[in-house]
Structure 1
Amino acid sequence: MSAHDELTAFAQAVAGTARREWGDATAAESGDLEKLWQAGAGQGWFELGAAQALDAALAATRELGRVACPLPVLDGFVAERLLPDVSAVESGRMRIVVATTADGDEIGYAEAATAATHVLVVPPAGGTAELREIGEVRERPGLAAPAWSRVTLGATVDTIDIDPARADEAVLLLRLGLAARTLAAAERAHEMAVEHSKTRHQFGRPIGSFGAVQQRIASCQIDISAGNLLIAAAVAEWTDCAAGWTASAEIAVAHVRAVAPRVQLGAQHTLAAIGYFEEHEAPWLFRRVHADVTRLRDYPRATGEFVDVLVETGASLPSPNAGETGEAFRAEVRELFAKYEDRFSRSSMAVDKELIAAVADRGWLGFAWPEEFGGRGAGLAEQVVLNEETAYSGAPISKALGAVMLLGNSILQHGSQEQKDKFLPLIRRGELSFCLGYSEPEAGSDLASLKTRAVRDGDDWVIDGQKLWTTGGHSSDWVWLAVRTDPEATPRHAGITVFLVPMDTPGITVQQHRALSGEISCTVFYDSVRVPDSARVGEINGGWKVITSALAGERITMGNIAAALHRQLDDLLGVVRADIDGTVGPRGSARRARLGEIAVGIQATRALVSAAIGATGGGGRLEAPMAGVLGGETAEAFGAAALEILGPQGALETVPGYDTAFEYGLRLSVMYVVGGGTNDIQRGLIARGLGLPR
């Protein structure tokens, strides 16, 4: 059995025990916590700290969150790592809750204290930890169910000297456990809302077919998926003893703290009245989520919040590891880019022919192609690294990479031998200047409804119609053009054919438009444009396969937005650190918190991108649109936040004293949420991927 299968089996066993000894979330007020504690101890739940099995401890915690149960598995995990003798903890004879602060001899907001026997008080900055008996327990009714308690501490059983690093780890583990439980509770409510939306009918239709419900459910799914990925990344780094695990853990906690309440509220909105009454699980999950988020404040880190560490220590976001081959190639790319860095720009879509030639000379354009077509079969990691480094640095080679992804790969699969011989060498040299002829006045996100026609005339085709938003159409040599060749075909996408047409062909007229970002995008008119059949790529009426092959390249490039945002964040941190008090203010200030929000949003986007890139087969059907939605909206949020943090200087073309252009990023961000299908459309795809009806 694989490690993944073992973990799944363990989680299922925890879920079964919790249902038997506790019940579902409606048992929050009446469940027997001490009975479940003893059952869990009998099954080894409190031996996981000694085994260093954080993944299993969090798996158990998630299952408990789904039934709104506050059994403190992570408290036991931490206690095992700190106490010299853990046998009583493992057996359940000593039932410990951990606190990081005490008001004299009292703990003000203890959880599960009615079933506990001891409190372990751990100072967040290190020092002497105390294991103390529990004296009086007074319940404090309120939002939490079971209720929190005020605990009077009894006799000291043991004291343990803990250095700052171990104390900080203990606090972080408690925070991560609380975040995992919180997100699991919200996810359970979300799952019920999804199922309810498929069966609940209003106005003669399932409510899941309503646009507002689909948009809300998709947004919640994005938040949940990113949260689970961030938690998994933190666990993996802790298990590998990676130095960056603390940052990953804090990012996961910050993300969950922000999203869990809105996921829960989103579920309540979808469930409506049925989820408002306490016979249903939702009200008890609501209590669990909001109480847990509030309780995170009970576990403060001595170093401050993640944003404080980010601002005050020179840290950046943790980077995903591309493996030995990928990281070795990253070093090569950075070495080359460093030689041309003075030519780079992060405020324009420039092209540098000399750098493109240098990249081509190294064989990096089309290097994933088979050897017979000039490639070397480079793997996914190298392709992703090249695109990420290009986006992060602002290297002016993105159009050449786009030719590989959008045209080259499709020509390899669908092009004629003549087309391969003609165009693949141009693409490998970075010399194919192209634009995309996809969008039309009535066919933006809905590409299958395009109307530009191509009619066969002997050995030629005659094209008539209009294309919109053809970026770079004024300066391109070729257009990758999708047209309708069979207006009667069903389904709609069945009658589309792709042509690769020279832009100087008679009958093509280009009208330029300047976009908000400053780039030129065009309306292109096709009036009786005659092209030979040799310009056709793929089969007649088989263009949809050609288009989807081209779009498959987005798997490689989807990380570009996240990489560009990462660079903008590093640039912003550079400005902030030069004048911390003047830009973000003291710890806890609104501007500093805003900076933390966007940093977490960028890392959440990177997590979804990594999941989408790593998905096989159809596994990326949800991750890819989720990454796109979150990336675009994070870009917009970043641009607005940068101006909010920097004030008027952030609205200048470049911040005085820095080669940074935050206002350009804000202007460009709108393109990320409308290009290639608006975020509303992408959320619809996510909703249907979850099984909601059209």
Structure 2
Amino acid sequence: MATGIRAEAEDFGHTVAAVLDARWGNATAAPHGDLAGVWQAAVEHGWFELASERALDFLIAAVRALGVRACPLPLVDGYVAGLLLGADVSRRIASGQVRPVVAVTGTVDTDTVHHCEAAPWATHVLLLHPATGRVRLAPIAQVEPTPGLAVPSWSRVTVAAPEAEMRVEPAVVEDALAVWTLGLAVRALAAAERSHELAVAHATTREQFGRVIGGFGAVQQRTAACHIDVAASNALVADAVGHGLAGSGEWTLAAALAVRHISDVVTSIMFGAQHTLGAVGFFEEHEAAWLFRRVHADVVRLRAVSRYALRVSRALVERGRSLPSFHLGEAAERFRAEVRALLAEHRTVDEHGREEYDREGLRAAMAERGLFSLGWPEELGGRRAGVAERAVLNEEMKYACGPVDRAMSATMLLGHSILRHGTPQQQAEFLPLIRRGELRFCLGYSEPEAGSDLASLRTRAVRDGDHWVINGQKVWTTRAHTASHVWLAVRTDPDAVPRHAGITIFLVPMDTPGITVQQHTALSGEVSCTVFYDNVRVPDSMRVGEVNGGWRVITDALAAERVVMGGVAATLLRQLDDLLGYLRADPQRLLGAEDSAARDRLEGLAARLQATRALVLEATRAMAEGKASDLAAPMAGVLGGELAEDFGQGVLELLGPEAALGAEVPGVPGHGVFERALRTSPMFVIGGGTNDIQRAIIARGLGLPREERAVRAKGR
């Protein structure tokens, strides 16, 4: 399925933007802009003919241009009217004879419309009653402006007898509302994104307290958080548009998820931009002030109308739908089917309904098919595959609750680094073990004074002839008590500048004299260890890569971990599906009415999960295209980690004390997975570099300077 907006549509959006720049201007034109002239220009340029071609991506591209300039031209209203009414009326809309605005109402025979936008320039109201499918096109009889937040102001409108009236099928109503709500959401998002861009530019130039404000940690964290929300929302819009263009049965749900996520985050993006812009954006005649009005006015209308559109909870629970799928291409999706079939061959269900796997049988079958050596050279036992296939394998294994998790970690975190940096002897010794899924390793990175700041590690390795003598301590080393080898990062040059230049990697047997393992039980329940290295002598043959070149080896391993990052979303998707399976048994008792707080909570979690999956897809595509500096991966990591914590809390809120019981108790919802998932969730935020660090990386990717205190510390 094609995903997102075509290049031709993007070009159309640029054309719309050029016309708006000439006929309207930027957002500061909102109180006095020539909306009548813009409407006439839209007619002349054929903007109101898009519905006849079902050119959804062209519509969305145009709406973005409108949102950036706070221009309330009801282009989406004309599009929806064209979808619902006959060809004759559509031609009149295209020619400008009929200039409609849409009003979604819960009252069948009303002749009064409140909070109507652009009414002074319109000729008709299209009244849509979703419950009955009744559609009326009625001339406007009277317009009474109602000034307030929206500029130009909303109006109270009285309509005359309808010129056209019809009833449409529920599916047609659902489709029309999906277009209308998505259009309104995109317009608000575009306005907020414009404000965010202005704030980022301001943060790179505005000086306070003797330095650029973008160097302050608080500004960086806020800016990065806003950027993540913008990127995730745009990814969801692109996915929804792709489903719409393909005529997918998942289109309306994809649109509902995008609308829900945008309505949840767009005002926070706007406030974040205002806070960064400070007094400049508040007191001065600034674009952001008018964009602020546009964003909040659009969102309040959007929330009022969304209750008539497809509810995410109804689709997922009562209709038994799943979150819309993402496609990584034909080859990757064929591979996905292969992996799922293999999992099914080795899966059983016990007497309590819990899935179990023949782990040893699955490991052997995967090794036989080359699944632990995807993308390796064929002469080293590899199987030809790209980034997409590796991502698919990781996602499917995580969705299956990690039956061969250790073997998967070895191939992703060690295999590719040994291929790039290992000696022929190391490759001959370790690659066959990894390829068979038999290497039991642990990761020796973190130290008491060096968690996310890996460049600050202190464990020392001093050369002694053909050997190295290692002294130091590693902490939070998962599975060290059962590992055969440790992938160990040590400092070999204490005076190196920059600090990361003096690090070297060794692959050391855990039974080497001088290694002592102290076990601890983590919050998740798994064993994590402190490992002491006391005069541990290792031969130079255990060194992987160049002396003092370990940072490059680590970077390659972390690049592979960007694929692992997609596993967080897959894990959460499995938890959502398990939750939905339980909720579907008795939705009214567990979730209540359409407007219940429980349904709202479920919908918010589902939308954020879909947003995380959309960013994972973008990160995977960026990796496949060789875009090593792309921000999609850290953004997906931050979003997924924070969602994991919120999801864990949300499930307990939805299901109550039963969800807090462990797997030992028969009949527990999710067979005890939910309480453990909550205990595990903080690791998704702090593991592999905390989210605070990831947001700082994102901020620097946007052009903000490093935080000055960090720069000073680095120079000492």
TM-score by length of 1: 0.96
Aligned to 1:72: 74
Contact 2:252 2:310 in 1 (8 A): no
Contact 1:454 1:462 in 2 (8 A): yes
Secondary structure in structure 1 of the residue aligned to 2:119: coil
Q: Match of 2:395? A: 388
User: Aligned ranges for residues 450-461 of structure 1 at < 5 Å?
Assistant: 450-461=457-468
8 A contact 1:434–1:477 mirrored in 2: yes
CA-to-partner distance for each residue in 1:478-510, whole Å, 9 max, x for gaps? 000111111222221111111100001011111
1:341 aligns with 2:347: yes
CA offsets 1:309-344 (integer angstroms, 9 cap, x no match):
212111111111233222222222222222333489
Partner of 1:399: 406
Partner amino acid for 1:323? G
Match among 637, 640, 647 for residue 628 of structure 1:
637
Secondary structure at the residue paired with 2:605? helix
Q: Which residue of 2 aligns with 1:686?
A: 698
Q: What is the letter of the counterpart of residue 677 of structure 2?
A: G
Identity of aligned residues (%): 58
Name the CA distance, whole Å, in 2 between partners of 1:126 and 1:462.
Answer: 80
Aligned pair partner of 2:100 in 77, 96, 105:
96
Once structures 1 and 2 are overlaid, which stretch shifts more, 405-414 or 158-167?
158-167
> How far off is 1:132 after superposition?
1.4
Out of 145, 154, 170, which is 1:139 matched to? 145
Amino acid at match of 1:159: E
SS in structure 2 at match of 1:382: helix
Q: Structure 1: which amino acid aligns with 2:648? A: G
CA RMSD of aligned residues (A): 2.1
Following the alignment from structure 1 to structure 2, what is the Cα–Cα distance between the partners of residues 172 and 343? 39
Paired AA for residue 165 in structure 1: A
1:22 aligned residue (21, 24, 28)? 24
Shifted more, 500-509 versus 292-301: the winner is 292-301
Deviations 1:386-435 (A, max 9, x none): 11111111141011011101111111111111111111101111110000
Counterparts in 2 of 1:103-252, with a 5 A limit?
104-125=110-131, 127-252=133-258
Match runs of 1:591-670 below 5 Å: 591-615=598-622, 616-618=625-627, 621-654=630-663, 656-657=666-667, 658=669, 659-670=671-682
Q: Which amino acid aligns with 1:87?
A: R
2:160 match: secondary structure: strand
Matched residue of 2:52: which SS? coil
Q: CA deviation at 1:351?
A: 9.8
Shift of 1:91: 2.3
CA separation of 1:132 and 1:690: change in aligned 2, threshold 3 A: same
Q: Deviations over 1:119-175 (max 9, x none)?
A: 122232453422111110000111111111111112422223422211211111000
Q: Write the letter of the residue equivalent to 2:424.
A: Q
Q: Deviations over 1:236-290 (max 9, x none)?
A: 1100101101110000000000000111111111111111135111121111111
Equivalent residue, structure 1, for 2:293? 287
User: Could you tell which deviates more after superposition, 355-364 or 601-610?
Assistant: 355-364
1:323-371 Cα distance to aligned partner (Å, 9 max, x none): 3222222222222222333489999999933321222122211032111
| Aligned twin of 1:8 | 10
| Contact residue 25 and residue 68 of structure 1 kept, 8 A | yes
Q: Relative to 1, partners in 2 of residues 1:330 and 1:631: Cα closer, same or farther, differing over 3 Å?
A: same
CA distance in 2, matches of 1:274, 1:192: 11
Native 8 Å contact 2:346 2:361 kept in 1: no
Secondary structure of the residue that 1:527 maps to in structure 2?
A: strand
Unaligned ranges ≥5, structure 2 = 707-716
Q: 1:391 to 1:142 in 2, by over 3 A?
A: same
* TM-score of the aligned structures, taking structure 2 as reference length: 0.94
CA distance in 1, matches of 2:411, 2:695: 28
Matched residues in 2 for 1:3 and 1:268: separation? Answer: 29
Which residue of structure 2 aligns with residue 542 of structure 1?
A: 549
Aligned mates of 2:470, 2:499 — CA distance in 1: 19
Q: What does 1:410-489 correspond to in 2, within 5 Å?
A: 410-489=417-496
Over 3 Å counting, the alpha-carbon distance change for 1:115 and 1:161 in structure 2 is same
1:126/1:165 contact within 8 Å kept? no
Task: Find 1:373's aligned residue among 368, 372, 380.
Answer: 380
The one-letter code sitting in structure 1 at the alignment partner of 2:62 is: A
Distance in 2 (alpha carbons) for counterparts of 1:349 and 1:579: 26
For residues 436-481 of structure 1, what are the alpha-carbon distances to aligned partners after superposition, in whole Å with 9 as ceiling and x for unaligned? 1111122111111212111111111111111111111111000001
Query: How has the CA–CA distance of structure 1 residues 167 and 275 changed in structure 2, closer, same or farther, with 3 Å as cutoff?
Result: same
Residue type of the alignment partner of 2:367: A
Deviates more, 1:18-27 or 1:248-257: 18-27
1:461–1:531 CA contact under 8 A, matched in 2: yes
Q: Verify: 1:322 aligned to 2:328, yes or no.
A: yes
Shift of 1:3: 8.1
